[in-house]
A = this chain, B = another copy of it.
Amino acid sequence: MTARQARKERITQERREQILKAALSVFSTRGYGESTMADVAEAAGVGVGTIYNYYKDKRDLLISLVQNLLISENLVSILDKMTLYSSRDFMDLLIEERLRFGFDNAQTILFLMFEIQRDAKMRRKYVQNVVWPLLSRLENLIRSQVKSGVFRKVDEKIIARAMAGTIIGNALLFRLEQRESPLKKAHLKDIAHELSGLFIDGLAGK
| Copies of this chain in its oligomeric complex | 4
Pair A202/B205 contact, Cβ less than 8 Å: no
- A78 contacts B by Cβ under 8 Å: no
| A199 in contact with B191 given A31-B33, A165-B169 (CB within 8 Å) | no
Question: In chain A between 96 and 127, which residues have their CB closer than 8 angstroms to a CB of chain B?
Answer: 106-107, 110-111, 113-118, 123-124, 126-127
| A198 in contact with B162 given A31-B31, A110-B110, A183-B157 (CB within 8 Å) | yes
Chain A 166-190 per-residue mask, 1 if CB under 8 angstroms from chain B, else 0: 1111111111111010110000001
Interface size grouping (class) on chain A = 35 or more
Q: CB-CB < 8 A to A204: which residues of B? A: 150-152, 200-202
The A interface is mostly helix, strand or loop, or mixed, namely helix
The distance in angstroms between the C-alpha atoms of A183 and B111, with both chains bound, is: 24
Q: CB-CB < 8 A to A206: which residues of B? A: 149, 152
Pair B194/A154 contact, Cβ less than 8 Å: yes
5 contacts between A and B (CB under 8 A): A31-B31, A149-B206, A167-B169, A168-B168, A201-B202
